[in-house]
Amino acid sequence: MSTASIRFLMCPPTYYDVDYVINPWMEGNVHKSSRDRAVEQWQKLFHVMKEHAVVDLVEPQLGVPDMVFTANAGLVLENTVVLSRFYHKERQGEEPFFQQWFEQNGFTVHTLPKDLPFEGAGDALLDREGRWLWAGYGFRSELDSHPYLAKWLDIEVLSLRLMDERFYHLDTCFCPLANGYLLYYPPAFDSYSNRLIEMRVPEHKRIAVDEPDAVNFACNAVNIDRVIIMNKASDDLKQRLEQVGFRIVETPLTEFLKAGGAAKCLTLRVTESVQPLHHAAATIESRTIQLQGHLLDSGLISRALDLVSEGGGSFQVLNFHLGEQKQSTSSAEIRVTAPSHDVMEKIMSQLIDLGAVAPPQEVCDNPLEIVTQDGVAPDDFYVTTIYPTEVRVNCEWVRVQNQRMDGAIVVSQTPEGVVAECKLLRDLRKGDRVVVGVEGIRTVRKTESREVRTANDKEFSFMGSGVSSERRVELVVEQIAWELRQIRDRGGKMVVVAGPVVIHTGGAEHLSRLIREGYVQALLGGNAIAVHDIEQALMGTSLGVDMQRGVSVRGGHRHHLKAINTIRRCGSIAKAVEQGVLTSGIFYECVKHNVPFSLAGSIRDDGPLPDTQMDLLAAQADYARLIQGADMILMLSSMLHSIGVGNMTPAGVKMVCVDINPAVVTKLSDRGSVESVGIVTDVGLFLSLLVQQLGKLTSPYQLAQIVQTVQ
């Protein structure tokens, strides 16, 4: 290409200054730049540019100081220009002047819908081979503008998400070079965008700069064939660029850095062409969703919007109806846009967990795919959560049965109608029709309470944590005691999951008492808790430690195996009770009071006890059966079994998790539901407080007596 055929547009800095702050570079620089020095630096750049191209000028205007940054005038491809719509009102005044220039110079001008920001060549850079367009979003330009670029310019658009506010325009951190090279600053982008870049630009063509070069705006460079014009580059960077055949021309632009711009920003290439081979559309997808609830008070709306942007998408709130009274709910319709189908699916499935729904008229059937191999789901299957879920079949919502997390949804036609059901992967059979994608799925969430819930509110922590007062501790245990009493008295179901620590910490007598008094309807654990409990009942030690005195008993380590051996001789725990061998302890009480228990085996089990289920699939099924219909699950220091239980439990079941390790508590109580309570404390102590509190509660029987006395 001859120099004469390459043209750029520039704007003299006659009215240039830093008058306001719309990016981090401008902060602290208002009226701190020198006009004279700016003019001098601009002139130098102008001369350098003229050595390699023709430079046209647009007339500067008073009151729009950033007009010097002509890169933001619009995006040019051949004879067409997409005019910028500035995000900040401070720059919107430039739009008519740039429009006029383009029109006078024979361009076809496209203007974006109002309220759809896009900042021209600052945020959209052509691959120098003309194969595609790189387009940035996240700060100034809206992702939704990208499909317009694809349509009007008939070119493939690759959307890149900017993450660092210092690099608010794509051209501040990204510069496609001749021969397919790329000069860029990877940390300015999210990981999805970095992957996209790496897929399109082979490693030996990627020239990544370090932060010191990035903050000197080394990527804000003008590339004309072999020449790269920029503010400043480190020796190392210069060397790397020279090695691959480029020539660097440095020209200081420090006065413009104060406004957040440099060489590239000050120029707009107005001769750009596309390779005829590479016309293609953008891969961008959009969908509309609805949200309902106490959107503002509960923070639901901001969580949903954060989730969209954190997931790499962007959004537009189409409408929002604010509930007027305290108790009335709000509703919103939001358009979600994502740079690819994958990203969209990820964002949508999280939005569904929050309770988002597609507008009713839009989908009649969620797509289904047929299982072709037993125990294996189709690739794109919808992974279930703990929340009650509905799926769209024949234009109706069908409630999914046997809700649990980490399953697939199987839809079948029965004589009674359509049935949708959660199934584990291993239970899928050839021919099952499985829900794929997320188009017609919704989760039914209880309208969240108006109070904003923070992580702190969900987690009570005492003993060893200075945060909570004694009084607070009492309140939590008091409340749990009250609920336990309610559940027992109305014939409800309380399930305990317990680890061996319950025995080591002296909790056995308290848990035994809860069972004796009818507070426990099922007990889940592993081999260890049963062995320790029985060892204590038979010999007064737990793993050889005397539970009364807290010291090791000589030869005590054998007690553990002796306990196992004794039960094996009897045939089972129940038989040991029957034969009068086992006469106290947690499992003795279970047998005596017909409380079913299930012991799930593991690789580290000694023995095991005859009662321990070493077939893990059978053990999982057993647990699932015992959990069914539970009102509350009390998880006592067993990470393994508690997580197992958590995975099988639908939302709506109150879970109380007690562990001395905050990580376990957080993991288990973080089910995104208000029903879970986590308590960080010693489990023996917790049980003793709980039993104490239960003792303080007045029973209906006592109440009746009191009433009688008063009468």
Q: Name the site residues for ligand ARG (rule: CB under 6 A).
A: 22-23, 66, 69, 71-72, 91, 122, 169, 171-172, 259-261, 265
- Please identify, using beta-carbon distances, which residue of 264 and 532 lies nearer to ligand ARG: 264
Instruction: Tell me if residue 265 is catalytic.
Output: yes
Name 28's Cβ contacts closer than 8 Å, sequence gap at least 6.
none
Q: What is the DSSP string of 120-145?
A: GGGSEEE-TTSS-EEEEESSSS-GGG
Minimum distance of ligand ARG from residue 11's CB (angstroms): 12
Query: What does DSSP assign to residue 372?
Result: -
Q: Which residue has the tokens 């090791």?
A: 552
Structure token pair of residue 66: 């950033």
Q: How far is CA 371 from the centre of its chain?
A: 29
Q: Which is nearer to ligand ARG, 265 or 651 (CB)?
A: 265
Residue (of 65, 74, 54) closest to 13 by Cα position? 65
- Name the catalytic one among 219, 265, 422, 590: 265
Identify the bridge partners of residue 288 per DSSP, sorted by sequence position: 335
The b/e string for 515-525 (b: 16+ C-beta within 10 A; e otherwise) is: bbeebbbbbbb
Angle between helices 616-627 and 639-648 (to 10 degrees): 60
Smallest distance from ligand ARG to CB 255, Å: 12
71 or 391: CB nearest ligand ARG: 71
Task: List the catalytic residue out of 169, 294, 559, 560.
Answer: 169
Contact 677, 458 (CB under 8 A): yes
Report, in Å, the least distance between residue 357 CB and ligand ARG: 38
Q: How many CB atoms lie within 10 A of CB 203?
A: 6
Tell me how far, at minimum, the Cβ of 25 lies from ligand ARG, in Å: 8
Q: Is 349 left (phi over 0), alpha (psi -120 to 50) or beta?
A: alpha
Q: CB-wise, 217 or 315, nearer to ligand ARG?
A: 217
Does 96 sit behind a cis peptide bond, omega within 30 degrees of 0 on the bond before it? Answer: no
Q: Which is nearer to ligand ARG, 64 or 679 (CB)?
A: 64
- The three state secondary structure string of 242-294 is HHCCCEEEECCCHHHHCCCCCCCCCCEECCCCCCHHHCCCCCCEEEEEEEEEC
As given in the structure block, the two tokens for residue 568 are: 């094996």
Q: Using alpha carbons, select from 142, 197, 138 the residue that is nearest to residue 162.
A: 138
Widest Cα–Cα separation across the chain: 110
Tell me whether residue 143 is exposed, middle or buried, using C-beta atoms within 10 angstroms of its C-beta: 0 to 12, 13 to 18, 19 or more. buried
Q: Which is nearer to ligand ARG, 261 or 293 (CB)?
A: 261
Closest to 660 in 3D by CA, of 456, 500, 462: 462
In the structure encoding, which two tokens stand for residue 401, read together? 């049965």
Catalytic residue at 590?
A: no
* DSSP class per residue in 485-550: HHHHHTT--EEEEE-THHHHTT-HHHHHHHHHTT--SEEEEEHHHHHHHHHHHHHSEETTEETTT-
Neighbour tally for 184: CB within 10 Å: 26
Expressed in percent and rounded to 5, the helix, strand and coil fractions of the chain are: 35, 25, 40
292 close to 331: Cβ distance less than 8 angstroms: yes
Host H or E run for residue 305: helix 300-310
Q: What are phi and psi of 207, to 5 degrees?
A: -110, 100
Residue type, 146: H
If the CB atoms of residues 66 and 213 are measured against ligand ARG, the closer one turns out to be 66
Do the beta carbons of residue 421 and residue 402 sit within 8 Å?
yes
Cβ proximity to ligand ARG, 172 vs 231, nearer residue: 172
Q: How far is the CB of 220 from ligand ARG (least distance, A)?
A: 7
Smallest distance, Å, CB 46 to ligand ARG? 17
**Radius of gyration of the CA atoms of the chain, in A:** 34
Q: Choose between 68 and 300: whose C-beta lies nearer to ligand ARG.
A: 68
Q: How far is the CB of 138 from ligand ARG (least distance, A)?
A: 14
How many other C-beta atoms can be found within 10 angstroms of the C-beta atom of residue 46?
A: 17
Question: Is the CB of residue 422 less than 8 Å from the CB of residue 400?
Answer: yes
Residues forming the active site: 169, 265
